[in-house]
Structure 1
Amino acid sequence: MTPAWKKAVRPQGGPAPAGPWVLGAVLLTGLLSTLLLGSGIGPGLLLVASAAAGGAAAAARAARRRARPWTLAWAATALLLLAVPALSEAGWPVFLALAGALAAGSLALHGGRRWAGVLLGAAGLLLAVAPGAAWVWEGLRARSLPARDRWWPVLRAAGLALVLLLVFGGLFAGADAAFADLLSGVVPSVPVAEVPLRVLLFGGGAALALAAARTAASPRRWDRLPVSPARPRGLLEWALPLVVLDVLFAVFIGVQLVVLFGGYAAVLHSTGLTYAQYARQGFWQLLCVTVLTLAVVAAAHRRAPRATRRDTVLARCLLGALCLLTVVVVASALRRMQLYVDAYGLTQLRVWVGAVEIWLGVVLLLLMAAGLLRSGRWLPRAVVLSAAVGVLAYGLASPDALVARQNVSRFDRTGRIDLDYLRLLSADAVPALDRLPEPQRSCALEEVAGTLERESPPWYATSLSEARARALLRDHPLVDPEDACDRAGQPVDDRRIGY
């Protein structure tokens, strides 16, 4: 027996059989995945995604589905996120960009307005892989093959052209080394040992393209997922905890203002903490406070009494005050992070948690705006879009480059630098680390220079930052990299990686 929720989200009527344009786009996506993604992720990913998007557009047009403003917004967001791997080399920002692009692309195909529709629609593309395979099989069965006298001349001409291309291309490559080098950089080569990987890439690319086309033709309606309403609580039972929490937040913010105007010296003397310990001790607690506050606001809004206008006004006032006070807590947490960075430098983890804290503050501002506008229909999409924009900004800002620039500037001021940590950064950090004097420069760049020397991916798997790093290291080679770290002799900070 089919569960009720599956019946609710199931689209009315099945999609029409997959047309030739859809099948062609699916095969093209699989082929491009095989040829372009086996050597790495870079500009080639945009070509693969474009082929898959073409198949989805053809399926949507055949189903007479029109693109709406939010559809275009999600599609543009996915496209921008896919540009991050073409620009950056750092692994974590690239991974987040790929995950965000997949979620934004899924939302462009599914749509959705409510929380259930937006959150489940972001992951719905993965659930359409199996239905996509069944859909294309039905399309092949429903579509009769053309007569032999129509397809045989085309196949014969294509085979002859391929043979001529291979023969004469091989002869020209053997006759001129420059042409052979150009040909190897333009035309992907597939070693025998990589055949299983390439087959897997073909299947994965084709499966995702099928899922996108199937969803574009007939998406599941996650907005129809039944959600049982919560039973409102009594006014006293609901309001008293919020009043107490608002007062607690206000007292804490008052203490922070006293510390701000009274200076840190008195606080450090009374607590017995060091300057960095005071900043480090508070940030994680304040980050937890922000996350828990969002959970409290969500639960309180769901259980808020709405019998009278007074109940509605009181709910907005208490929840709005809590959100506003939490925004101040976010600012306090970011201030503590800045104190700790000034003391011990910037790391990838500190950039990441700071970005998360800023995004949580944006979510709180969106909640306040929804309360003031007295309409929250736009809120789910706005929150998810803010997350996607945050991931995009995080990737374009290049955390490794930020870390390198801050630590190089700190070295110029204080003479202290953690070369052991900077050696772990990606090619994004090379332009900033290139500003260091010798031997610190050669020590910091030894690892990434060795990686770039060992690996030589083709153009479609090379990011812009990697190409820039290669050019800098080629124009300004390292000086005795094996002995550079011994000659640097720099003191190492004692709090570099753990936080």
Structure 2
Amino acid sequence: MSDQPSDASSRSETSPESPVSGDVPPASAVTPEPDGVVPPGDPGRAKAAGKPARASNAPVPAQDAGPDAPKVPAYLQAPPRPDVWQRRGQQPPPGVLSRLRPPSPPAIGPATLWSVLATALLSALLLGDGLGPNLLIVAVPAALGAFFSARSAGRELRPWTAVWAVGGLALLTVPALREAGWPVFLAVVSALALGSLALHGSRSWPGVLLASLGLFPSAAAGVRWGWQGVRARADDSRGRVRTVVRSTVVALVLLLVFGTLFASADAAFADLLGSLTPDVSVGDSPWRIFLFALGLVGALAAAYSAAAPVRWDGITVRPGKARNRVEWALPLIVLNLLFAVFIALQLVVLLGGYDKVLDETGLKLSEYARQGFWQLLWATLLTLLVIALALRWAPRGGPGDRTLVRSVLGSLCVLTLVVVFSALRRMDLYVDAFGLTRLRISVAAVELWLGVVLILIIAAGVFGARLLPRAIAVSAAAGVLAFGLLSPDGLIAEQNVARYHSDRTIDIDYLKGLSADAVPALDTLPEPLRSCALRNFERDVALQDAPWYSSSWGEVRAREILEERPVRNEGVECYRLGQETDERDGYEEDDSYDPY
């Protein structure tokens, strides 16, 4: 007999009935097992187990091409065609935030969880009655939660982070001190911007601008992160959670029982307890629930940003194409000459006096001051835009180009500072003529801050621009803080009262619309002006019974003044004062309207 296997035995080895898996080689390539060794689950090989094994170098018999030819196994079949609509070997590009944010932070820690819960509870209990010291009280546990989260993620407290954090908390003292809504709004928005800067730690222009926009990119991720941490800790420590819940319930029951007994035993203790505890009713439950959710989401977003901040500094803005010296410098030199001519004219006006200018132009003093201020304010803003664009396309060939840029732009900044001074001088003349209002003090403060920005730009040209974005952000926050602490409504009232004592003219109708911060200054007016100016404030104080945590110091001080010296009933006199018209030279009817 031949030593080659028969066709039957060959077909039995490659039969479709034989179990074939994707990682088993074809039958013709299988190395024969030793004699007497039968692989499990192979009946075809079991029948031929007694025959001697074929040598490894023996030729492989050809397969029959007849009608009983075996089917091609699945592992030998051609792979399916790929989907033509699917890109081969490419993943979808990552989003902007996924590229700028570091990997997922570690699991939320217990200290962060407790801080977040305290923030949510305090938000629900204290923020429903208005803004005051309560906003600062709520911000403290939120800041602690962010600190604990950053420490667990390995982030260190850097000097600029401390500057942003302390500045944000300082801005939240404005609602605790002032009653006026407009400086309070500016302070709260600026505090949120500084808090976001503290969490993200940005230093470039795109970073400072984008990082100060808030915690919106981290809101959804922070909620998911907090929920995962709560679930993990609840599964690992069910017994401790039950212990904490039982202890909290027992403590609340004891406080409620004994607090009620002591309050019924002593009226003074009852008043103290009533003033300290939040006034929570069933009717405002939806509002309290919303505040709880808002505090919870905000605190989680702050903690998540502290652990995994978005690196907004990763967004780079490529500089513009550098221009040659003549093309770049010629328009700016012409602008500098124009500024110089205008400033020379201003010096002539200061030396010759305003009367000569008014006689030549035919304008009144109020018209000259008002029109000039607004034009000079816009000139300052446009100059800052020109400087930003000029730096983008400035020549960058070598030391000579740097000297040219510093000389031309430095001269423009110095000349613009003189324009700022001229604008502030015109506003001072306008205020002397018509008094101080909210709009006038606001735009004057903006013009003054623009002057500070110009000084910072000059300093950056001398010492380097690495700190310029953060320095301008600090100047803006410091300006908002000073604006709130100086009490703009109080300054308006003081200036108008001083004008009344000098020339006996005052706009009582406008002063009645100020906040409670103006009460101390208006209290110095003689009767019946005092009662007419404070009548609205007394009604508001009588109707308002705000708790201590939502009452500013300005409101408390106004309440004390009106309780010591109540206003008189001067209805007829107040009506007569309202009908009087101002007959001063230069008065215009539309000037009395101030939307702010």
Answer whether contact 1:418 1:491 (CA < 8 A) is retained. no
Among 320, 324, 345, which residue is 1:255 paired with?
345
Return the offset for 1:309.
2.1
For the pair 1:380 / 2:469, whether they are aligned, the reply is yes
One-letter identity of the residue aligned with 1:459: W
Which structure is larger by alpha-carbon Rg, 1 or 2? 2
Counterpart CA distance in 1 for 2:572 and 2:141 is 49
One-letter identity of the residue aligned with 1:453: A
Q: Specify the SS of the correspondent of 2:309.
A: coil
Q: Specify the SS of the correspondent of 2:525.
A: coil
Return the offset for 1:151.
3.8
Counterpart CA distance in 1 for 2:326 and 2:290 is 60
Return the offset for 1:145.
3.3
For the pair 1:343 / 2:433, whether they are aligned, the reply is yes
For the pair 1:440 / 2:525, whether they are aligned, the reply is no
Structure 1 residues 381-420: Cα deviation after superposition (integer angstroms, max 9, x where no partner): 0001100000000000110000000000000001000000
One-letter identity of the residue aligned with 1:87: L
Return the offset for 1:208.
1.1
Provide the TM-score with structure 1 as the length reference.
0.96
Structure 1 residues 204-227: Cα deviation after superposition (integer angstroms, max 9, x where no partner): 111111111001111011111132
For the pair 1:497 / 2:559, whether they are aligned, the reply is no
For the pair 1:244 / 2:334, whether they are aligned, the reply is yes
One-letter identity of the residue aligned with 1:304: A
Return the offset for 1:161.
2.6
Provide the TM-score with structure 2 as the length reference.
0.81
* Aligned residue number for residue 315 of structure 1: 405
* Aligned residue number for residue 33 of structure 2: none
* Aligned residue number for residue 126 of structure 1: 216
Answer whether contact 2:370 2:430 (CA < 8 A) is retained. yes
Alpha-carbon spacing, 1:284–1:147, altered in 2? closer, same or farther (3 Å) = closer
Q: Specify the SS of the correspondent of 2:129.
A: coil
Alpha-carbon spacing, 1:66–1:188, altered in 2? closer, same or farther (3 Å) = same
Answer whether contact 2:192 2:214 (CA < 8 A) is retained. no
- Identity across the alignment (%): 56
* Aligned residue number for residue 9 of structure 1: 100
Q: Specify the SS of the correspondent of 2:284.
A: helix
Among 448, 452, 460, which residue is 1:362 paired with?
452
* Aligned residue number for residue 454 of structure 1: 543
Answer whether contact 2:147 2:306 (CA < 8 A) is retained. yes
Alpha-carbon spacing, 1:35–1:431, altered in 2? closer, same or farther (3 Å) = same
* Aligned residue number for residue 80 of structure 1: 170
66-75 vs 177-186, greater mean Cα deviation: 177-186
Q: Which has the higher helix share?
A: 1
Counterpart CA distance in 1 for 2:349 and 2:239 is 87
The within-5 A match list for 1:483-494 is 483-486=572-575, 488=577, 491-492=581-582, 494=589
Answer whether contact 1:439 1:488 (CA < 8 A) is retained. no
* Aligned residue number for residue 560 of structure 2: 471
Answer whether contact 2:113 2:145 (CA < 8 A) is retained. yes
156-165 vs 231-240, greater mean Cα deviation: 156-165
Return the offset for 1:488.
4.1
Q: Specify the SS of the correspondent of 1:231.
A: coil
One-letter identity of the residue aligned with 1:234: N
Alpha-carbon spacing, 1:181–1:234, altered in 2? closer, same or farther (3 Å) = same
Answer whether contact 1:404 1:429 (CA < 8 A) is retained. yes
The within-5 A match list for 1:14-413 is 14-146=104-236, 149-373=239-463, 375-413=464-502
Answer whether contact 1:442 1:484 (CA < 8 A) is retained. no
Answer whether contact 2:333 2:408 (CA < 8 A) is retained. yes
Q: Specify the SS of the correspondent of 1:436.
A: coil
Answer whether contact 1:110 1:124 (CA < 8 A) is retained. no
Return the offset for 1:86.
0.3
Return the offset for 1:4.
6.5
Return the offset for 1:189.
1.8
487-496 vs 15-24, greater mean Cα deviation: 487-496
Answer whether contact 2:437 2:594 (CA < 8 A) is retained. no
Counterpart CA distance in 2 for 1:7 and 1:201 is 30
Structure 1 residues 62-98: Cα deviation after superposition (integer angstroms, max 9, x where no partner): 1121111111111111011000000000000000000
Return the offset for 1:337.
0.1
Q: Specify the SS of the correspondent of 1:92.
A: helix
Return the offset for 1:170.
2.8
One-letter identity of the residue aligned with 1:474: E
Counterpart CA distance in 2 for 1:240 and 1:383 is 29
Counterpart CA distance in 2 for 1:399 and 1:136 is 42
Aligned residues: 497
Counterpart CA distance in 2 for 1:243 and 1:167 is 80
Return the offset for 1:130.
1.3
Alpha-carbon spacing, 1:22–1:431, altered in 2? closer, same or farther (3 Å) = same
Structure 1 residues 414-467: Cα deviation after superposition (integer angstroms, max 9, x where no partner): 100000000000010010000000111111111122111101111111111111
361-370 vs 144-153, greater mean Cα deviation: 144-153
Answer whether contact 1:78 1:104 (CA < 8 A) is retained. yes
Structure 1 residues 290-331: Cα deviation after superposition (integer angstroms, max 9, x where no partner): 000000000001100111322211111110011100000000
Q: Specify the SS of the correspondent of 1:123.
A: coil
Counterpart CA distance in 1 for 2:224 and 2:574 is 59
CA root-mean-square deviation:
1.6
Q: Specify the SS of the correspondent of 2:514.
A: coil
Alpha-carbon spacing, 1:325–1:233, altered in 2? closer, same or farther (3 Å) = same
* Aligned residue number for residue 18 of structure 2: none
Structure 1 residues 127-179: Cα deviation after superposition (integer angstroms, max 9, x where no partner): 21111111112222333435554443442232233223223323443444433
Counterpart CA distance in 2 for 1:97 and 1:50 is 16
Return the offset for 1:9.
1.6
Return the structure number with greater relative CO, CA threshold 8 A, min gap 6: 1
Return the offset for 1:481.
4.8
Counterpart CA distance in 1 for 2:359 and 2:406 is 41
Counterpart CA distance in 1 for 2:98 and 2:246 is 49
One-letter identity of the residue aligned with 2:518: A
